[in-house]
Amino acid sequence: MRSGQGQGSHDIMPGAKHILVINGPNLNLLGSRETRHYGRDTLKAINARLARRARDAKVRLVAFQSNSESTLVERIQQARGQGVDFIVINPAAYTHTSVALRDALAAVGIPFVEVHLSNIFSREPFRRESYFSDIAVGVVSGLGARGYELALEFALQYSGKR
């Protein structure tokens, strides 16, 4: 896994499939509170498992988290120029509010899977609405941290054909 590419860096996996994992607001707090909904894994532990799997599959994986909507929009916009092939995204609370993030994903046209740790359909009514699901390749919700791993497995196999 790489945390990003600065100037002067060289590509350690030229030609490899490139997967971007994006986590939205408050997911940096995973493992500490709200464990009933979100489990005990930290985001660091989840990302480490994804990085291991990506390394085994010889795929380039970059993980990114932000609490800021504009930073997330900018990261998605950058993804196109960086040759990202697939996005795994948990937009967190922005799932239910952000036309801006939806528009960014639609604009870059990179296929993505929407992941939620909790089952958003079994919680408060406002969580049942997502601005992302209808333009996602698929949605994983309610399978805890395993959902990210399943989404990554799908991304590894994804060829654009359904």
Please report the DSSP string for 18-87 in residue order: EEEEEE-TTGGGTTTS-HHHH-S--HHHHHHHHHHHHHHTT-EEEEEE-S-HHHHHHHHHHHHHTT--EE
Does 120 help bind ligand CA2 (rule: CB under 6 A)?
yes
Question: Active-site residue 158, yes or no?
Answer: no
Q: Which is nearer to ligand CA2, 32 or 68 (CB)?
A: 32
Q: Which is nearer to ligand CA2, 74 or 129 (CB)?
A: 129
| Core vs surface per residue 22-44: b (16+ CB within 10 A) or e | bbbbebbebbeeeeeebbebbbe
CA distance 95 to 140: 13
Does 38 help bind ligand CA2 (rule: CB under 6 A)?
yes
- Give residues 88-117 in contact with ligand CA2 (rule: CB under 6 A): 90, 92-93, 95, 116-117
Q: Catalytic residue, from 10, 18, 37, 38: name it.
A: 38
Question: Active-site residue 116, yes or no?
Answer: yes
Please pick, from the candidates 21, 22, 27, 59, the single residue that binds ligand CA2 as defined by CB under 6 A.
27
Sign of the alpha-carbon torsion through 45, 131, 19, 159 = positive
Q: Which is nearer to ligand CA2, 105 or 117 (CB)?
A: 117
Which positions are catalytic?
A: 38, 116
Q: Could you list the residues that contact ligand CA2 (CB under 6 A)?
A: 26-27, 29-30, 32-34, 38, 90, 92-93, 95, 116-118, 120, 127
